[in-house]
Structure 1
Amino acid sequence: MTDDDPSSRRPTRRDYVKYGGAIVGGGLLAGCSGQSSSDSESTERASDSTSGEGATGSSATASDTDPTSTGDATSSTAVETGTASSGSSYTAELSPVGTVTLDAPPENVFTHFPWFPDMASALGQGDTINDLWWDGTVEGLEYFTTEFDGFEVEWADEAGEYGFTKERLYELDSDLHLVDPAWVTTEDNWSRSDVEEVTNNVGPWLGNYYSSYHGTPPKGWADGYEYTTLWELFDRVASLYGERERYEALASVHDDLLGTVEDGLPPKSERPSVAYVSVTEDLSEIYRLRLNAPGYWNAHTRPLGATDAFGNESFSGPFNQIDLEALLAADPDVVLALWTVTETVDFGTLKRNLENDPIGSELSAVGNERVYPQGTRWQGPLMNLFQTEMTAKELYPDRFGEWPDYRDGDPYPEFGPDEQLFDHRRVANVVTGND
C-alpha cells in the first residue's frame, strides 16, 4: 500500500483537532433512504422513501408522540468544557456515535443533509461547511432570513451531488463529519469498517438521521439507537463548536415561540383539517405526509396540533403517494404545499393548475383560497423558527395574524413587532454576533 492510497494516509492536522467518537450503534444517511447516490434530487424530494421508514424504533418520548406537545424541548447534556487555549476540550454525546471530543472548535466541517448547515449558520459558523447535498436549502434559508442585515449563507457554493465516497472525505480532510454513520452504511460502497476508518484517519462523525421521522435504523445499529429532537441535536453541535451562548439564546427564543403557540391555539374542535403534501406543478405526483408525526421533520407542524385531513390511516414511511381523487375525498380545509418557497416548485403555477383542474377546483382549500406555501421538512433551527411562525399564521389567522398572499420570488414578509411570533431582530443579532 503506497502513501497515495487514501486508506493508508494518516491525519495531517490531527494535532489541532482531536477526535474521540466511539461509534456504538446507529443508522445513517438516507434522507430519502433506499436511494442510490445517482438518484436525482427532485425525485428524492418528491418521494424520499426510506427502507424501514415508519417503524417506531426505540426511546420515543411522550413529547414525540403527542401532536400538541412541542416535541423539541431543549437539552443541555452536552456542554463545551473549556477553550482550546486552556487545554480543555469540546465534547458532545449522541446516539449512535457515543462521545465525540475535539481539542478545538472545528474549522472544516463536512455535512450532507441540510439541517446541519442551518445549525452552523445559526451559530455564526457557516463558513466552516465544506460540502452538503441539495442547494434548495440555500434558497429556503435565504428566503426566511431576508431581513437579517449582515447575514449570508456562506455555504451557498458548497452544494454537490447526493451521496459521497470515502475518497471524497479523505480529500476534504474535515475536522468533523456531521452525518449519521448508521445511515452512511446503507449507502453503496460503505461498510461499518469504512466508517471506522474515516473516524480514525480523518475525523469523527456526529448525526442522528433516523430521529427525523423515527424510522428504524439498519441492521447492526438498531440496538440502543435513541431518538433525539431537532433542538437537542442542535445542542450537541453547539457544544462541539463552543457556541453555547448563541445556542442558549436561540433555544430561549424557541421556547418562547412554542409557549406563544400553545397559549394561542384554539380548542381542538375549532382547528382546521390539513393536508400536508408535496405536489409537482402539473399535479402528476402528489405525496401526503403525516402532519403530526414524531421526529424533527415535523418540528414546525406538530406543535400546532391541527387535524390531519387523512385521519389515522396507516402507511409505511414518512409519506405515501396519492392522487387528486384521494385528496378530494379527504377535502382538507387547508393544503400546505412543500418546497414552494424554493425554486423546486413554482407556487403560482401549482395554484393555478389546482384552480383549473376539474377535481382540484372542487377542493374546499382551493375554493376558500387556503392553499399555502411551505419550505422544507429538512429544517435546522433557523428555518424551524420561521416555518413554525409561518405555518401558525397559515393555519390560525384569527389567532396569530394572517399569512399574506405569496408570489414566487417574494421575500419573507416584514411583520411588525406586534405581528411576529418571535423576536426576529433578536435572532438576527444572535446569528450575526451583534447581540
Structure 2
Amino acid sequence: MSRDQQKRSTRRECVKYGGGLVTSLALAGCIGGSRSGGAPGEASPTPTPSPTATETPEPTQTDTPGPHSATIEPAGEVTFEEPPETVVCGWGFVGDVLMALGRADSIVGMARPGFWYQGFYDLLPGVSMRKTGEIPATVSKSYTVEEELLYELDPDLLATDPNRFIAWYRLEPATVERIREDIAPFFGNESRSKRSPGWPNWPDGEPYSYYGIPEFLARYGRVFREEARAEAMIDLYETTIEDITSRVPAKSERPTVGLLSAFTNPENRGFFGVNKPIPALDVTHELRQYGALGVVDAFEGHYPDDSGHYDLKTDFEGLLDIDPDVLVFSEAVNALGGQNVYGNADAYQQTLDVLQTDEVGKRLTAVQNDRLYPGGTGSQGPIINLFQTEMLAKQLYPDEFGPWRGLGETPESEQLFDRQRVADIVTGDI
C-alpha cells in the first residue's frame, strides 16, 4: 500500500461521527470531524437561515503540542494532530484569511484561483504575493469539481463549506461524504452573501449561522495554531473599521451611488449590469465595504423582483434617468491588476470608454464630474477589506477621508490604516 493510500485509509478509520465523538488520533494534519446532533445525510431545502452572526470567539494561544480542535458550522468540531500543512480552498476569501495568519503558502489548490486578487499585498512591506497562476484550479470554468485533481493534491484540509459542492458544483451528498472520508475534512462556512432559501444544509439538514470576518480569523487561527496572529489582526481590523465608519457623513450629505459591473456594457453585452451595493445581511463579506460606509443606492426601488445574475439591466437612457452622483464598477480591481477573470481583460476600460464617448453617457453627472471609480473584489477577507474600505471611503467622501488617487497611490499621511502593522502580523512580528 502506498503512503497516500495509507493516509487515506487512516483518515477513514479515525474519523468517527457518533454524537460528535472523535475516537482516535492520527495523521499530521486533521484527524476527525463531526457536527453534534446529527449524522451525514441527504441535503434538503430549508427556510432562509437566521441573519444574525455568531459572537466572535476569543482566540486563545495554544503553544503546547498535541491534538487541538476547532469548530465551524456546518462542519462542526474538527480535531487536528497538528496544523494542516496543505489546504484546498474556494475563491479568494479564505486565501486572504490565511494570508493574514501567515499561512498562505499552505494553499495547494483553489476552486477558482483567478478570483484571488493579489494587488493589495504588493502594498505591504516585506509581504510576498502568491502567484495565483501557479495554483491549480480544482473547479472547472463550467463549475465541475476536478475530483481526480483533489485526490492528487491530497490536502490535509478542505477549507470551504461542503454545501458549495452540492449547491454550486452539483455533487451528490454521498459524493461529498466520500471526499471528506477519502481526502480531508471540510472546514468552511458560506458567508459571502445571503444564501438562497433552498441552500443545502449538509450534513445534518439544520440551518446554520453566518460568520463575520473576525469570526473566520479566530476559527482559522485555531486550526493553524495562529491564535496570536488572529487576535492581533482582529484588533487591528475592528479598530480600523470602527474608526472609519464613525466618520461617515450624515446620510443627507452622501452622494447617490450606482454599482455597475466593470465588464458589462452595451457594446459587449447589450446592457449595463447594475447590482445592489447594500448587502442583504450586514455580516456577509462580499459587499462589506458598501454596507459599512452607508452607501446611498441610487437605484433603490427600481430593482425587479425576479432578477438574474444582475439585479438590474439597463441602457444609457436608464442610467441617465436615475443619474447617480457616483458610478463604481464592481470587480474592477481585477482588471487593474491584470487578472483576466472574466475572459476579457480590456472590458473594464471599454465600459469606461463607452460611457465617456456616448452622447447620452456624456450627460451623466458622474461622467461630467469625473466620478467613475474602480470597485473592489467580492472575494475579500480582512486584508483586502481594509484596503477596499479605505478605497471606497476616499471615493465617496473625499472631504472627510482625503481624495482617491488610484491603486497604490495613497501617500502614507493619507492612509486610513497602518500598512506596516498589517505586514508585521502577516510576517509574524506581532
Please say whether Structure 1 and Structure 2 have the same fold, judged by a TM-score greater than 0.5: yes
Q: Is residue 279 from structure 1 mapped to residue 262 from structure 2 by the alignment?
A: yes
**How far apart, CA to CA, are the structure 1 residues paired with 2:263 and 2:169?**
28
> Cα 1:281–1:322, aligned 2, differ >3 Å: closer, same or farther?
closer
- SS of 1:326's partner is helix
Aligned to 1:412: 408
Select between 209-218 and 99-108 the one with higher mean Cα deviation: 209-218
Aligned to 1:82: 62
**How far apart, CA to CA, are the structure 2 residues paired with 1:74 and 1:9?**
35
Q: Is the CA contact 1:115–1:378 (under 8 Å) kept in the aligned structure 2?
A: yes
**How far apart, CA to CA, are the structure 2 residues paired with 1:206 and 1:132?**
14
Deviation at 1:349, TM superposition (A): 3.7
Aligned to 1:429: 424
> Cα 1:118–1:219, aligned 2, differ >3 Å: closer, same or farther?
closer
Select between 191-200 and 391-400 the one with higher mean Cα deviation: 191-200
Aligned to 2:215: 232
Q: 1:306 aligns with which of 295, 298, 315?
A: 295
Higher RCO, 1 vs 2 (CA within 8 Å, ≥6 residues apart): 1
Deviation at 1:6, TM superposition (A): 8.3
The number of residue pairs the alignment matches comes to 386
Q: Is the CA contact 1:328–1:360 (under 8 Å) kept in the aligned structure 2?
A: yes
**TM-score (norm. length: structure 2):** 0.80
After TM superposition, the structure 1 = structure 2 runs for residues 216-295 of structure 1, keeping only pairs within 5 Å, are 216-219=197-200, 221=202, 223-280=206-263, 282-283=265-266, 284=269, 285-293=271-279, 294=281, 295=284
- SS of 1:21's partner is strand
Select between 372-381 and 285-294 the one with higher mean Cα deviation: 285-294
Deviation at 1:249, TM superposition (A): 1.3
Deviation at 1:373, TM superposition (A): 0.6
**How far apart, CA to CA, are the structure 1 residues paired with 2:401 and 2:55?**
24
After TM superposition, the structure 1 = structure 2 runs for residues 4-83 of structure 1, keeping only pairs within 5 Å, are 10-11=9-10, 14-23=26-35, 57-61=48-52, 75-76=56-57, 79=59, 82-83=62-63
Give the ranges of 4+ consecutive aligned residues of structure 1 lying more than 6 Å apart after TM superposition. 2-8
**How far apart, CA to CA, are the structure 2 residues paired with 1:289 and 1:278?**
7
**Which amino acid is the alignment partner of residue 273 of structure 2?**
Y
Deviation at 1:134, TM superposition (A): 3.5
Please, what is the CA RMSD of the aligned residues? 3.1
Q: Is the CA contact 1:127–1:155 (under 8 Å) kept in the aligned structure 2?
A: no
> Cα 1:370–1:364, aligned 2, differ >3 Å: closer, same or farther?
same
Deviation at 1:23, TM superposition (A): 4.9
**Which amino acid is the alignment partner of residue 113 of structure 1?**
W
Unaligned runs of 5+ in 1: 27-51, 65-72
**Which amino acid is the alignment partner of residue 154 of structure 2?**
D
| Identical columns (%) | 30
Deviation at 1:225, TM superposition (A): 1.9
Deviation at 1:174, TM superposition (A): 0.9
Deviation at 1:186, TM superposition (A): 2.5
**How far apart, CA to CA, are the structure 2 residues paired with 1:415 and 1:136?**
29
**How far apart, CA to CA, are the structure 1 residues paired with 2:60 and 2:179?**
24
* CA displacement 1:114-164 (0-9 Å, x = unmatched): 1111111111111100111434445x32x2122323222235210424442
* CA displacement 1:27-85 (0-9 Å, x = unmatched): xxxxxxxxxxxxxxxxxxxxxxxxx9xx9822212xx7xxxxxxxx97125x56734x6
Q: Is the CA contact 1:230–1:381 (under 8 Å) kept in the aligned structure 2?
A: yes
**How far apart, CA to CA, are the structure 2 residues paired with 1:220 and 1:391?**
34
After TM superposition, the structure 1 = structure 2 runs for residues 131-210 of structure 1, keeping only pairs within 5 Å, are 131-138=109-116, 140-141=117-118, 143-154=119-130, 156=132, 157-160=134-137, 161-162=140-141, 163-187=144-168, 190-210=171-191
**How far apart, CA to CA, are the structure 2 residues paired with 1:56 and 1:356?**
47
* CA displacement 1:165-211 (0-9 Å, x = unmatched): 33322221111101111121135562212222222222110122255
> Cα 1:99–1:314, aligned 2, differ >3 Å: closer, same or farther?
farther
Q: Is the CA contact 2:278–2:290 (under 8 Å) kept in the aligned structure 1?
A: yes
**How far apart, CA to CA, are the structure 1 residues paired with 2:102 and 2:27?**
24
Aligned to 1:323: 314
Q: Is the CA contact 2:91–2:115 (under 8 Å) kept in the aligned structure 1?
A: no
Q: Is the CA contact 1:390–1:403 (under 8 Å) kept in the aligned structure 2?
A: yes
Q: 1:98 aligns with which of 67, 72, 76?
A: 76
* CA displacement 1:334-378 (0-9 Å, x = unmatched): 111022222345444432221101232222111111010123111
Deviation at 1:403, TM superposition (A): 0.1
> Cα 1:56–1:113, aligned 2, differ >3 Å: closer, same or farther?
farther
Deviation at 1:424, TM superposition (A): 1.3
> Cα 1:428–1:210, aligned 2, differ >3 Å: closer, same or farther?
closer
**How far apart, CA to CA, are the structure 2 residues paired with 1:430 and 1:9?**
34
Of structures 1 and 2, the larger Rg is shown by 2
**How far apart, CA to CA, are the structure 1 residues paired with 2:228 and 2:61?**
13
Q: Is the CA contact 2:163–2:200 (under 8 Å) kept in the aligned structure 1?
A: no
Aligned to 2:42: none
**Which amino acid is the alignment partner of residue 82 of structure 1?**
T
**How far apart, CA to CA, are the structure 2 residues paired with 1:379 and 1:207?**
15
* CA displacement 1:353-412 (0-9 Å, x = unmatched): 2110123222211111101012311112111110000000001000101101x4xxxx52
